[in-house]
Amino acid sequence: MVEPMYAMGKAVRLARMVNPESNKMMAITVDHATSRGIAPMTGIHDIQGAIDKIVAGCPDAMTMTGGIQKRCWGPHVGSGISILHKISNYAPTSPTSDVVFGSVDAAVRMGADAVSLGCITLGDFQNEQFERIGEISEYCDEIGMPLIGHVYPKGESVPKDQRASWENIAYCARSACELGLDVVKTTYTGDPESMAKVISCVPSSFRVVIQGGDTPAGLEGDALLDYYMAMTRDALDAGCGGVTMGRWVWDAEDVTALVIALRRLIHKGYNAKQCMELYKTVKSEKNYKDYEIL
C-alpha cells in the first residue's frame, strides 16, 4: 500500500532525529529562558557558546525557539542535527499555561524536523491548551510535520509530591498520544517499574522520552552527573524512547564531553559507570573529534 504523502513526510523527518542503530532519540534543549528566567540559567547565558559546545558532541537533535535558531544556528546548518522548533512556553508568572507564540509554517521555512510545544495538565488551563494542541496536531498531519509535546502534570490540582507519580505521568503520555502528537517529553517516575507502567499505557509506536527536570537538592559535581546518568539508563531500560534534556547537560564542566558520553549511554547501551568513565576521559583529553562517529 502506498503511504499518504503526509505520512511519508513525517516518517522521513522522524527518522532524522532517531539513531537508526538504537532506535532512540537524544535531544538537547535550550528553550528555558522565557519560562524560567535567564538569570538562573547560567549555562545558556552565552547561548551561541552553549549551542556550539552541544553541537560538538553530536546529539541527534536540539530544541530551540525560532528566534534563537535564526541568530545562532547558521554555523551549524548541514551538521545533520535535527532542529525541534519550539513554538510555546509558559512564563515565570503563569507557570500552568503554555502559550503558543510560534507557528508550524515558520518551522517549515526554517528547516525544522519537528515542531515542539508544551502543555501543563491537570490544571485550570488544560482545556484551552488541549484545544490548541488539537488544532496544531491536525495541521502537522496535513503537511507531514512531526509534533513533540513537553507535557507535565503540574497544574493547580497536583501536589508537588505527585508530579512524578506514575498515574499522573501516564495521564500526560496517554493524553499526548490521544491529541495526535508523535513524541511526548515528560518526567521520569523515579524507578523503572513504575515507568514501565507508563509505557504500557500508550501504543508501542508512540515514543515517550524523559526530561532531566529539576536538580535534586544537595547534589553537585560528579554526584549530580551520576544521578542523571543512572536515571537515563533506568528510563531506557524501562522502555523509554530517548531523552530531551537541558540544564544538567549544559551546566556541566565540559558540555561537549558530557554529550559524547551520554550518546554512548543512549545508543551503545553504556551503563552509568561506563558513561562517567568516558566523560572523565574525554574531559581530560579534549579529543572531541575522535568521537564524532559512534
170-200 burial, b for 16+ CB within 10 Å, e for fewer? bbbbbbbbebebbbbbbbbbeebebbbebbe
pLDDT digits (tens, 9 = 90+) for 198-253: 999 999 999 999 999 988 889 999 999 999 999 999 999 999 999 999 999 999 99
pLDDT digits (tens, 9 = 90+) for 89-130: 999 999 999 999 999 999 999 999 999 999 999 999 999 999
Rounded CA separation 189/166 (Å): 6
Rounded CA separation 98/79 (Å): 30
Averaged pLDDT for residues 162-171: 99
Rounded CA separation 47/282 (Å): 23
Catalytic residues: 152, 185
Q: Residues 282, 254: contact at Cβ < 8 Å?
A: yes
What backbone torsions phi and psi does residue 86 show, to the nearest 5 degrees? -85, 125
Specify the CATH class of 5-291 in words: alpha beta
Averaged pLDDT for residues 170-185: 99
- Looking up cell 524512547 gives 241
The one-character DSSP state at 288 is G
Averaged pLDDT for residues 245-269: 98
Instruction: Indicate whether 1 pLDDT > 80.
Output: no
Averaged pLDDT for residues 17-46: 97
Report field, pTM of the whole predicted structure over 0.85? yes
Averaged pLDDT for residues 272-294: 93
